[in-house]
Amino acid sequence: MPTTKGSGTSKRGFASMDPEKQREIARKGGRAAHEKGTAHEFTSEEAAAAGRKGGQASGRGRSASAKP
């Protein structure tokens, strides 16, 4: 696998793949999990709680004047 020494880039790994190829692989994984019955499906209550938690976390460290 050709790589350039010291360049910090690599031709290996999921992150270096074409975005369409990543979606294809992820789609297959999601389908397999649902067929197997091990995929997690959020209820509307779980999704709302996750959204609130994410909103609180993203607002940390901001001053009161920075909030709209």
DSSP string, the chain: ----TTS---S-SGGGS-HHHHHHHHHHHHHHHHHHT------HHHHHHHHHHHHHHHTTT--GGG--
Q: Percent of the chain beyond pLDDT 90? A: 24
In tens, the pLDDT along 29-62 reads 988 988 888 887 889 999 899 889 988 887 776 6
49 is a domain residue: yes
**Does the reported pTM lie above 0.85?**
no
How far is it, in rounded angstroms, from Cα 67 to Cα 39? 37
30 is a domain residue: yes
Domain count for the chain? 1
Selected residue with higher pLDDT from 66 and 30: 30
How far is it, in rounded angstroms, from Cα 57 to Cα 61? 9
What would the two tokens of residue 35 be?
């067929």
39 is a domain residue: yes
Q: Of 1-10, 17-26, 38-47, 55-64, where does the model show the most confidence? A: 17-26
What would the two tokens of residue 57 be?
């976390």
Residue 25 domain boundaries: 18-55
4 is a domain residue: no
60 is a domain residue: no
38 is a domain residue: yes
6 is a domain residue: no
